[in-house]
């Protein structure tokens, strides 16, 4: 597969084809690891960190009642996947 490096704000970006995204089960907000190895750029999915649950972690699962109905799915995505709100 060949693709182009393109400008995105003050950075450069590479688009990942839809088929590859589906095979790797990536979603918007997925954590990835990027590193270079000689003349290559390597992009890997980052496995979720397993960490103990702190007693105050329940607060991040609350959805404020001020959220409109259509914004609830974004709040749920943030809770489940860490995606930006």
Both 24 and 13 in one domain: the answer is yes
Number of independent structural domains in the chain: 2
C-alpha 46/C-alpha 75 separation (Å) is 22
Both 68 and 78 in one domain: the answer is yes
The yes-or-no verdict on residue 7 having pLDDT over 90 is yes
Question: Using 50, 70 and 90 to split pLDDT, how confident is the model at 11?
Answer: very high
pTM above 0.85, yes or no: no
Closest CA to 14 of 31, 34, 30: 34
Both 33 and 65 in one domain: the answer is no
pLDDT digits (tens, 9 = 90+) for 26-72: 888 888 888 888 888 888 887 766 666 666 666 666 666 665 655 56
Tell me the C-alpha to C-alpha distance, in Å, between residue 60 and each of 22, 40, 64. Answer: 28, 38, 10
Both 66 and 34 in one domain: the answer is no
Tell me the C-alpha to C-alpha distance, in Å, between residue 65 and each of 6, 55, 68, 70, 76. Answer: 40, 23, 8, 12, 13
Give the domain extent around 79.
Answer: 52-85
Q: Which residues pair with 50 in a beta bridge?
A: none
């Amino acid at each position: 597969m060949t693709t182009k490096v393109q400008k995105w704000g003050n950075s450069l970006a590479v688009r990942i084809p839809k088929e590859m995204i589906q095979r790797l089960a990536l979603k918007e907000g997925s954590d990835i690891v990027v590193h270079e190895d000689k003349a290559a750029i390597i992009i890997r999915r980052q496995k979720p960190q397993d960490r103990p649950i702190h007693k105050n972690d329940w607060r991040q699962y609350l959805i404020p009642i001020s959220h409109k109905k259509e914004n609830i799915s974004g709040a749920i995505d943030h809770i489940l996947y860490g995606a930006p709100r």
